[in-house]
Amino acid sequence: MARKKKPLPELKSVRIEAVAAEGKALARVKMSENSDSPIVLFIPYGAPGDIADVQVDRKKNSYAEGHITRLVVPAADRVEPKCPHFTVCGGCKWQHLPYHSQLRWKQQQVTDALQRIAKVELPEINPILGSAEVWRYRNKMEYTFSNKKWRTWEQIKSGEEFKDSGNALGFHIPGAFDKVLHIDKCELQTELGDRIRNFIYLRAEHHGFSFYDIRANQGLLRTLMIRTASTGDVMVCLVFGEDNKEPSDIILKEIADAFPEIKSLVYVVNLKLNDSISDQEVIVHSGRDFIEEEMEGLRFRINAKSFYQTNSRQAYELYKVARKFSGLDPENAGEHKPLVYDLYTGTGTIANFVARGASKVIGIEYVPEAIEDAKVNAAVNGLDNTLFFAGDMKDVLTDEFIAEHGHPDVMIIDPPRAGMHEDVVKVILNARPKVIVYVSCNPATQARDLALLDRAYKVTDVQPVDMFPHTHHVENVVRLQLR
């Protein structure tokens, strides 16, 4: 007979000290009176200064995880979350912290990563650039249709009969892949985005159209993407889980009639088991197949598959930092304009943004469709000094490639969260650009890569940038100079 596990304790009056990885709060506790020393306890939705009763949910040798069962004494700067879905949705981790505190902890996150992981000589880290808009700042949101609406434990335990629909249009619940929290309002997207999403839900319910069942891989309505550009352009991409033209046409026409602001209404029929549309045909119902963003007079075309930073206004601040660190401000350019390599260029936004201060910009990106977008954006803006190449970075960026296209004076690097492959680091070290500007969405992997570059490069500038208020994510830009 299996031995019954000892139940994990509920700890009384735990004092929360700080914010740690993944946005969780941190406390140091003794798990029992017989414990020799305290261990780290990670607690979601806690605030430094809180005193709370905490139920331990998971225990390892060196740490534990738990959740707050009762807030005994709230932290002095704790604030009331704005969103009714906070703590259930999982998208925002920090709505209970005032924005100035969020910035302080993000600055600390960058400092800790660079000091503890990189362990390289550092200059004084610049104060983080906060976002001018902390609500309604996202230009892209993706929602899921589901015939399995998430119910809270309170709703279930009440025993009351549910009189509302079992269909939902909203966000996947963390840890429950087949359940979706229905959203009436999201404080991160524009109010127009809220109106469009709610309209689509109500019309679908009115017609009795089927919502997607992830287990059965069936249902007419599958996912919804809404993009709202700083220019005022709006894109709606509706993804259908069944190839059924009559009901699809009905709801698409109703959306187009109700929202003339939509410049691009497109749809996809996705019969696969996963939600990715990267390998699917995007069909235009009305308007264009793209919308446009604008930055310093440059226009950037964005289609349903394009990547673009989701905080348009703050993306501009981020790119200005990258350009400044690169020495590529057009007004400061001398007679000799540098040759620039832009690694992980995406749709070429940074490459095209800095092109006016460069002799030539060479962009490399893994996704072929993104490279085609980059070429279109260069053409739209009349830029003739950019070249773009598609392929795996470690396969494209070789010593032979550099010998053919020229040794870069400046290299801009903006890799995915996993950072750079070691082979890419080796080629960069061989190429020996005078300046490297490393833009990162993950200071931990950035710090790891800085340690690899340290034998040839010295860090001269560090600038954290907050792109995502109310989440724990932070961008960081580092300038490195050849020793």
- The CATH number linked to 453 is 3.40.50.150
Instruction: State CA 77 to chain mean position distance.
Output: 27
111 and 193 inside one domain: no
276 and 342 inside one domain: no
Is 93 contained in some domain? no
Domain count, the chain: 3
428 and 447 inside one domain: yes
Bridge partners for 339 per DSSP:
360
Q: How far apart are CA 53 and CA 383, in angstroms?
A: 60
> Which pLDDT score, from 0 to 100, does residue 204 have?
98
Q: How far apart are CA 179 and CA 479, in angstroms?
A: 43
- Containing H/E element for 445? helix 443-453
pLDDT in tens, the chain (483 residues): 556 677 899 999 999 999 987 889 999 998 877 777 899 999 999 999 999 999 999 998 889 999 999 999 999 999 999 998 999 888 899 999 999 999 999 999 999 999 999 999 999 999 999 999 999 999 999 999 999 998 876 666 666 667 778 999 999 988 777 889 999 999 999 999 999 999 999 999 999 999 999 999 999 999 999 999 999 999 999 999 999 999 999 999 999 999 999 999 999 999 999 999 999 999 999 999 999 999 999 999 999 999 899 999 999 999 999 999 999 987 765 678 999 999 999 999 999 999 999 999 999 998 898 999 999 999 999 999 999 999 998 899 898 999 999 999 999 999 999 999 999 999 999 999 999 999 999 999 999 999 999 999 999 999 999 999 999 999 999 999 999
Is 366 contained in some domain? yes
Q: How far apart are CA 273 and CA 263, in angstroms?
A: 30
CATH number, position 215: 2.40.50.1070
> Which pLDDT score, from 0 to 100, does residue 126 have?
98
374 and 436 inside one domain: yes
175 and 245 inside one domain: yes
Q: What is the CA radius of gyration of the chain?
A: 25
Cβ(337)–Cβ(357) below 8 Å: yes
Is 328 contained in some domain? yes
Q: Which of 444, 429, 432 has the alpha carbon at shortest distance from 474?
A: 444
Is 182 contained in some domain? yes
> Which pLDDT score, from 0 to 100, does residue 453 have?
97
Cβ(478)–Cβ(459) below 8 Å: yes
372 and 440 inside one domain: yes
197 and 153 inside one domain: yes
Cβ(462)–Cβ(438) below 8 Å: no
The answer to whether 441 is a known catalytic residue is yes
Is 302 contained in some domain? no
445 and 467 inside one domain: yes
Tokens matching residue 437: 């500007």
152 and 122 inside one domain: no
Is 96 contained in some domain? no
Residue 168 domain boundaries: 140-295
Is 397 contained in some domain? yes
* Neighbour count for residue 297 (Cβ, 10 Å): 6
Strand bridging mode 25-29 / 39-43: antiparallel
CATH number, position 38: 2.40.50.140
Tokens matching residue 36: 């020799």
186 and 151 inside one domain: yes
Q: How far apart are CA 403 and CA 100, in angstroms?
A: 48
127 and 156 inside one domain: no
Is 391 contained in some domain? yes
Single pTM value for the model: 0.92
187 and 271 inside one domain: yes
Q: DSSP code of 300?
A: E
> Which pLDDT score, from 0 to 100, does residue 36 have?
74
